[in-house]
Chains A and B, each alone.
Chain A
Amino acid sequence: MKVKNEDKENGAGSNQNWLERLSQSNDFVREHTSLRDEEPFWISYYRTLISSDILHKDVLPYLHEQLPLEELKSRIPVQEIIFTRDADEIIQNILNGSLAIQKHQYDDECLLINIANSKFRDVGMATMESSALGPQVGFIEELDTNINLVRKRLPVPELLVKEMKVGELSKTRVAVLYMDGIADPENVNTVIQRIKDIQYDHIQDSSYIASMIEDNSNSLFPQSISTERADRVAAGLTEGKIIIAADGSPNLVILPITFMESFIAMEDYSYSWIISNFFRLLRLTAMFISTMISPMYVAIMTYHYELIPARLLDTLVGSRAAVPFAPFLEALFLELMIEMVKEAGIRLPLKIGQSLGVVGGIVIGQAVVEAGLTSNVLLILVGLGSLASYTSPVYKFSNTIRFIKFPVIFLAQWFGLLGVFLAFLITQIHLLRLTSLGRPYLSQYPIRNTSFQDLWVRLPFSMQKENPKTLRPQKKWKSTGKGKKTGPTNDFYE
């Protein structure tokens, strides 16, 4: 806050001030283009921000003649040229890679030529959300490229982009994308309003914004999807969802979303609807397995020995026979160990990470069982559970699954199966109350027929005719020829 106040007090209108402030930095360059002082021009820029190529080829050759700045503006073959006197604007543009040209050293008016050097990596494969089939392209850290990727998929004028700057220090460009005529204007206004209300010094990633504007920031469940897949973004836009993109972030935020969307992979649409339904069900089951399997083990082994089938008794109890810890400590120990292996695998450099997976998973696990610290049945269950937690195609959501089992393990230790059920109940209540941009998150209630076209199940394309009702889209039908058979009518025969 202090920085901002000083800005206002000292910066406005005073030429020398911005010069002084900027020249404190060593990479700031201020030069005169000719030897004599009264001749043009004074140029100032940040050496580290501009492209010297453009500077030498396209700008400097025009600076030898005595010309008024307006004339110069029309001559220089660079697109973004601004003529201004406003010190704030000058500072801002110079910081974004502009070259400032002044006629005299202490002139107020100034020509700003954008010759920013933007070096980014090329558009590459989506690494976090990879898929076997379907488009592989992933977003990168540059906003314009990302919007370009989306626009290529939706070449219609209805795709609108609203840009704003967020972050008092970072001045991050944030873009809100939506389809005019489909997205609910109320949603759009809410998102824009909430982004405008953000007061924070720096925004490094679109996830910052996502967590700042979400309805309940204390929830474990992400109320938006961060994706690096252009197809997911485009598909969301056509349904009436709103996308938030931030410069410097390879992830775009989709909202509002529902719970089940975290189990939908874009790959689902590449398969037959029957097979993709199987996968959706599999992912949902995997979530239950992952969150419930170790708590169930703790509950049953601690309290409910009656539930063990007679034929499993030997395996289950035999494997625990010499374990010195209570099932709770045993499970907590193994779960924490697996989580540590996972965490280390992510933090370590790529090449070491791979070998660590093997070391952590097999060697330590085997050793722990051999040492008699845990039962091998639990090792299988925990391994299965941690595997299952990664089936969700949305990374943020799989982290939620990873975390959520720990409180359930505690409840299982305190109350047995009652505790496990309590955890289920609390989660269910929480999910029912949770909203994403004011829309119901769980989408179980109220029941919408669109939820059974493409959410809980995916019907063939010929039967996915409506846009999801929970989003209150302005366009009800996906295709204008709603009655007629249009487009791919039956993907069964394709």
Chain B
Amino acid sequence: MINRSAFCLFLILLLSGCSFLPTNIVNEIDMSQGVGYDLAEKKNIKGTIVFPIFKRDKTSSTEVRTAIGKSSKEIRSILNNETRYPLVSGQLRVALYSKKIANKGITDFVDTLHRDPAIGSLVQLAIVDGGANELFKMKKYKNENVSIHVRELLEQNMKMGLLPQTNLQSFLFQLFQIGQDPYLPLIKNENGNIRITGMAIFKDDQYVTSIPMKDFFIFKALVDKNRTGLRQFILEHRDKIVLETLYSNAKYKVKIVHGKPEFTINLKMKTRLHEFAPSEKQRKAFDKKRYQKQVEQELEINAINIVNQFKEHKVDPLGLGAKYKEHYRGFNEKQWKMYYPNVKVTVNADVEILQTGTID
């Protein structure tokens, strides 16, 4: 008994020095927080990795390193040759792809993200108008952690603003779902500032077109069930009205007419009046019904416009195909792709202005 417990004690002391799994002690690794991919010559890619360097009792500084290689893991192993600690990817927060590389398709680079179990599915993806490398190396963000900045910029706009919700998980879902194309935010370095400029729309994994900032309101209303977002409408007689969404939900209805699908989108919105500037300066109470109607019309036209734009580029970020597939057992992808450019889509908006403010 004594021998056995002595042996156990010895084992405990021996084993406590080592561990059964490979360790990643936090201060002995370099945690990449952002990666960026650009096109380089000769079918190579230029990868950029952003990682913080921690100092005792000081705020961390950010290091941006670039290397050229054929795959993202090759880039990492090249960069490992110049970092103090091994580069690890578990703290990855944002992955940027340049527009040029997105034109050729980004699955190859997204693939590594979802194969690595250390990387979470909430990583933000974005397309950079320009170079990802240049964006990470911007002078203005030298003392700030640029990857965290980009991530928080995107997240606050998704949460409080007009940007539809996207991340690695949603991108992969949309990519692998039959009858839907993914979309990602488009950011740009504009005069030394990182800005969200639009929404990049993909055809499978290739960047095709983008929707501008002004269409975000309707796009978000069509793809997300959301509770945020502010939009200004210029109605007839140049009446200006600013509405904030309190609740919005788009319901897609599929009807098969003569073997072809027809879509009805019922967009229900509850809003709050934020600003109202009528053209005729009269002392009149706010005519809710009249303006609701006008806003509905405006939204319907807006929606039809962007749907038409999608049809034109043969992309389907709204997932109409997927909805068709849910309803119709004889769904055929090829056939659907043929139908899609001429598919009939009607939009019924139902806007309700619930709150008009304290003074009316």
Residues of A within 8 A of B (CB): 301-306, 308, 310, 313-314, 316-323, 326-328, 372, 410, 413-416
In B85-107, the 8 Å CB interface with A consists of: 88, 90-91, 93
Known contacts A306-B120, A313-B91; A320/B27 CB under 8 A: yes
Please state if A321 and B31 are interface contacts (CB–CB under 8 Å): no
**B67 at the binding interface (Cβ < 8 Å):** no
Main secondary structure of the interface of A (DSSP, over half): helix
Contacts of B91 in A (CB 8 A): 305-306, 308, 310, 313
Please state if B54 and A414 are interface contacts (CB–CB under 8 Å): no
Please state if B31 and A327 are interface contacts (CB–CB under 8 Å): no
Known contacts A303-B24, A317-B27, A318-B57; A310/B148 CB under 8 A: yes
Please state if A316 and B26 are interface contacts (CB–CB under 8 Å): yes
Query: How many interface residues does B have (CB within 8 Å)?
Result: 31
Known contacts A314-B60, A318-B54; A308/B19 CB under 8 A: no
Please state if B57 and A305 are interface contacts (CB–CB under 8 Å): no
How long is the Cα–Cα vector from A304 to B88 in the complex, in angstroms?
A: 11
How many contacting A-B pairs (Cβ < 8 A)? 81
Task: Quote the shortest CB–CB distance from A318 to chain B (angstroms).
Answer: 5
Please state if A303 and B23 are interface contacts (CB–CB under 8 Å): yes
Per-position 1/0 for B145-162, Cβ under 8 A of A: 000100100000000000
Contacts of A320 in B (CB 8 A): 26-27, 54
Please state if B57 and A302 are interface contacts (CB–CB under 8 Å): no
Please state if A327 and B25 are interface contacts (CB–CB under 8 Å): yes
Q: Identify the 9 closest CB pairs spanning chains A and B, nearest first.
A: A306-B90, A322-B56, A321-B56, A321-B54, A317-B54, A320-B27, A318-B54, A317-B26, A305-B26
Task: Quote the shortest CB–CB distance from A46 to chain B (angstroms).
Answer: 42
Please state if B25 and A313 are interface contacts (CB–CB under 8 Å): no
Give which listed residue, A302, A321, A328, A410, contacts B12 with CB less than 8 A: A410
**Could you show 6 A-B contacts with beta carbons less than 8 Å apart?**
A305-B31, A305-B91, A313-B31, A317-B27, A318-B55, A415-B21
* Apart from the given pairs A305-B31, A327-B26, A328-B16, 15 other A-B contacts in the complex at a CB distance below 8 Å: A301-B25, A305-B91, A310-B93, A310-B151, A313-B31, A314-B60, A317-B26, A317-B27, A318-B55, A318-B58, A318-B60, A322-B56, A323-B27, A410-B16, A414-B16
How long is the Cα–Cα vector from A60 to B345 in the complex, in angstroms?
A: 119
- Nearest residue (CB) in A for B23 is A302
In B1-38, the 8 Å CB interface with A consists of: 12, 15-16, 19-21, 23-27, 29, 31, 33
**B118 at the binding interface (Cβ < 8 Å):** yes
Contacts of B16 in A (CB 8 A): 328, 410, 413-414
Please state if B27 and A414 are interface contacts (CB–CB under 8 Å): no
Residues of B within 8 A of A (CB): 12, 15-16, 19-21, 23-27, 29, 31, 33, 52, 54-60, 88, 90-91, 93, 118-120, 148, 151
Please state if A314 and B59 are interface contacts (CB–CB under 8 Å): yes
B29, B55, B88, B151 pick with most chain A CB within 10 angstroms: B55
Known contacts A313-B52, A321-B55; A308/B26 CB under 8 A: yes
Known contacts A314-B54, A314-B59, A413-B16; A326/B25 CB under 8 A: yes
Contacts of A317 in B (CB 8 A): 26-27, 54, 60
Task: Quote the shortest CB–CB distance from A196 to chain B (angstroms).
Answer: 28
Contacts of A321 in B (CB 8 A): 27, 54-56
Contacts of A313 in B (CB 8 A): 31, 52, 60, 91
Please state if B90 and A301 are interface contacts (CB–CB under 8 Å): no
Task: Quote the shortest CB–CB distance from B96 to chain A (angstroms).
Answer: 16
Task: Quote the shortest CB–CB distance from A410 to chain B (angstroms).
Answer: 6
Known contacts A313-B31, A314-B54; A302/B60 CB under 8 A: no
Please state if A305 and B90 are interface contacts (CB–CB under 8 Å): yes
- Nearest residue (CB) in B for A419 is B20
How long is the Cα–Cα vector from A413 to B91 in the complex, in angstroms?
A: 21
Please state if A301 and B26 are interface contacts (CB–CB under 8 Å): yes
Contacts of A306 in B (CB 8 A): 90-91, 118-120
How long is the Cα–Cα vector from A321 to B58 in the complex, in angstroms?
A: 10
Task: Quote the shortest CB–CB distance from B85 to chain A (angstroms).
Answer: 11
- Nearest residue (CB) in A for B151 is A310
Contacts of A328 in B (CB 8 A): 16
How long is the Cα–Cα vector from A410 to B93 in the complex, in angstroms?
A: 31
Please state if B29 and A305 are interface contacts (CB–CB under 8 Å): yes
How long is the Cα–Cα vector from A413 to B12 in the complex, in angstroms?
A: 11
Task: Quote the shortest CB–CB distance from A446 to chain B (angstroms).
Answer: 35
Contacts of A415 in B (CB 8 A): 19-21
Task: Quote the shortest CB–CB distance from A224 to chain B (angstroms).
Answer: 26
How long is the Cα–Cα vector from A318 to B55 in the complex, in angstroms?
A: 6
Contacts of B57 in A (CB 8 A): 318-319
Please state if B26 and A416 are interface contacts (CB–CB under 8 Å): no
Contacts of A318 in B (CB 8 A): 54-60
Task: Quote the shortest CB–CB distance from B43 to chain A (angstroms).
Answer: 32
Please state if B58 and A305 are interface contacts (CB–CB under 8 Å): no
Contacts of A319 in B (CB 8 A): 56-57
How long is the Cα–Cα vector from A308 to B54 in the complex, in angstroms?
A: 14
Give which listed residue, A303, A310, A414, contacts B33 with CB less than 8 A: A310
- Nearest residue (CB) in B for A372 is B56
Task: Quote the shortest CB–CB distance from A314 to chain B (angstroms).
Answer: 5
How long is the Cα–Cα vector from A413 to B119 in the complex, in angstroms?
A: 22
How long is the Cα–Cα vector from A301 to B90 in the complex, in angstroms?
A: 13
Contacts of B25 in A (CB 8 A): 301-302, 326-327
How long is the Cα–Cα vector from A213 to B48 in the complex, in angstroms?
A: 68
How long is the Cα–Cα vector from A322 to B55 in the complex, in angstroms?
A: 8
Contacts of B26 in A (CB 8 A): 301, 305, 308, 316-317, 320, 327
Task: Quote the shortest CB–CB distance from A175 to chain B (angstroms).
Answer: 36
How long is the Cα–Cα vector from A321 to B26 in the complex, in angstroms?
A: 8
- Nearest residue (CB) in A for B29 is A305
Task: Quote the shortest CB–CB distance from B145 to chain A (angstroms).
Answer: 9
How long is the Cα–Cα vector from A304 to B22 in the complex, in angstroms?
A: 11
How long is the Cα–Cα vector from A107 to B56 in the complex, in angstroms?
A: 88
Contacts of A302 in B (CB 8 A): 19, 23-25
Contacts of B33 in A (CB 8 A): 310
A301, A310, A322, A372 pick with most chain B CB within 10 angstroms: A310
- Nearest residue (CB) in A for B93 is A310
How long is the Cα–Cα vector from A415 to B19 in the complex, in angstroms?
A: 7
Task: Quote the shortest CB–CB distance from B51 to chain A (angstroms).
Answer: 11
How long is the Cα–Cα vector from A320 to B54 in the complex, in angstroms?
A: 9
